[in-house]
Amino acid sequence: MEDNNKNALYCSHCGALIGEDEDYEEVNGEIVCTECYERNTTTCDRCGETIWTEDSYGDEYTTLCRHCYENHYTRCSCCDALLHEDDAYHLDGYDYCSECYHDEVDKSRSIHDYGYKPEPLFYGDSNRYFGIELEIDGAGKDSDNADEILAIANKDNEYMYIKGDGSLDDGMELVTHPMSLGYHKNYQWEEIMKKAISLGYRSHQTSIITIKRTSNYTAERGIYTDTTKTKRSQRVLKISPYIMEILKDYKLEQDEEAFRLGDKWVETDRLFVKWNGEPMNNQTPYGWLKEFCEKNDMPFYGIHSFRHFAASSLISAGLDVTTVSGALGHCNSGTTLNVYSHMFQNAQAKVSEAMDKAFAFLPQKEDTESE
């Protein structure tokens, strides 16, 4: 019996047992049952490689694996249109389609693109420096407003710059160069805030998580931060205040640990890090979860299963496909329907049940037996 269990095959995607007489496929070296293969995979239009549908780097017209996308394609930094590298226009390190390129060259530079990262200027005398990112919303991504704020913020030196941020409904992001804590205390924050409020801005929403970057690893570069796979992957999620308080407590513990370690602490903008503040390896959570499941005699299906659980919960709660697609960061709603069509069908069936309950007060027709 033990030998049979050792030789049993399980689908790496759904966890189902694959019978001895059942066919299966392999995707990236992992065994996949035929149902998951047919429902959740597609083919790169350029090289023909089989990939997971949700891992496509293309658009609704073109399916691309990551390798082909990164080596032969790019996206317009403004409208996110998929472009072959030969068709892209380049400006200040960004790629654009023809239309957006010509709009960009005429645009005011008071508000920079989100990816703008100037050479940092350090102010104050300290072992630790802090750059502040303040999201203000409600009065527009307006160059004239930005000029008024910058006139106060940079009245005697360049302390601040302003960027656009796709997570804001109608605002922009104020970013300071690194300053010591003492320098921040004496900085003209009060005047800046009064001006922003007078222009109609308010602080951006609370209990919000903005997904706008990814953590990656290669042997050549090590651990590094990059943009998301597509612009649609950049999204804003509202979380419960309870979870937000847990994150705040964790950040407070991290700040206390950084103070205790002093010069040994490596300052980054990350919350989940190694013991000394350095970026955590991407595989660390995977290894921790696997070890946790083994210790507690629980099945391990990988971290990606949490994503499927979240999607299932949203669909079961009755959310529409557009909302679910936005929460998952899929490039379009078609991807969501393709991956989770069976779940939407189950949710749709509940509509009929709800209608039956709604009309339960009506007299029911009794069945009569023919005599």
pLDDT tens figures, 11-42: 888 888 888 888 888 888 888 898 898 888 88
Strand-pairing partners, residue 173, are 135, 163
Q: What is the pLDDT of residue 2?
A: 45
> For 139, phi and psi rounded to 5 degrees?
-130, 15
DSSP 370: -
Residue the block writes with tokens 């990816």: 115
| Residues 42-99: tens digit of each pLDDT | 889 989 888 888 888 888 888 999 899 989 999 898 888 899 988 888 887 888 888 8
| Residues 201-212: tens digit of each pLDDT | 877 655 677 788
Higher pLDDT, residue 292 or 165: 292
What is the average pLDDT value for the chain, to the nearest integer?
Answer: 82
Q: What is the pLDDT of residue 55?
A: 85
3-state secondary structure at position 316: helix
Tell me the two tokens of residue 24: 């299966």
Range 223-229 contact pairs with CB under 8 angstroms and sequence separation of 24 or more: 223/279, 223/280, 223/281, 223/282, 227/115, 228/329, 229/57
Q: Which residues of 152-161 are buried (b: 16+ CB within 10 A; e: fewer)?
A: ebeeeeebbb
Inter-residue contact 343 to 315 (CB < 8 Å): yes
Q: Which domains does the chain have, with CATH numbers?
A: 109-204 (3.30.70), 283-355 (no CATH)
Q: How far apart are CA 191 and CA 160, in angstroms?
A: 14
Residue 371 clears pLDDT 50, i.e. is over it: no
Residue the block writes with tokens 């996110």: 80
DSSP codes, 73-119: EEE-TTT--EEEGGG-EEETTEEE-HHHHHHHTTS-SSSB-TT--PP
Q: What is the mean pLDDT of residues 270-287?
A: 90
DSSP strand E in the chain: where?
A: 9-10, 17-18, 24-27, 30-33, 41-43, 50-52, 73-75, 82-84, 89-91, 94-96, 133-137, 160-163, 172-176, 202-203, 208-211, 214-218, 222-226, 235-238
| Residues 137-181: tens digit of each pLDDT | 888 888 889 999 999 999 999 999 998 887 776 889 999 999 999
Q: What is the pLDDT of residue 244?
A: 78
Q: How far apart are CA 213 and CA 331, in angstroms?
A: 16
Q: What is the pLDDT of residue 186?
A: 93
pTM of the model: 0.39
Mark residue 342 as left, alpha or beta (left: phi above 0; alpha: psi -120 to 50; beta: remaining).
Answer: alpha
Q: What is the pLDDT of residue 103?
A: 64
Tell me the two tokens of residue 41: 């995979």
* Residues sharing a CB contact under 8 Å with residue 101, sequence separation 6 or more, in sequence order: 89, 91
Inter-residue contact 174 to 134 (CB < 8 Å): yes
| Residues 216-228: tens digit of each pLDDT | 888 888 999 888 8
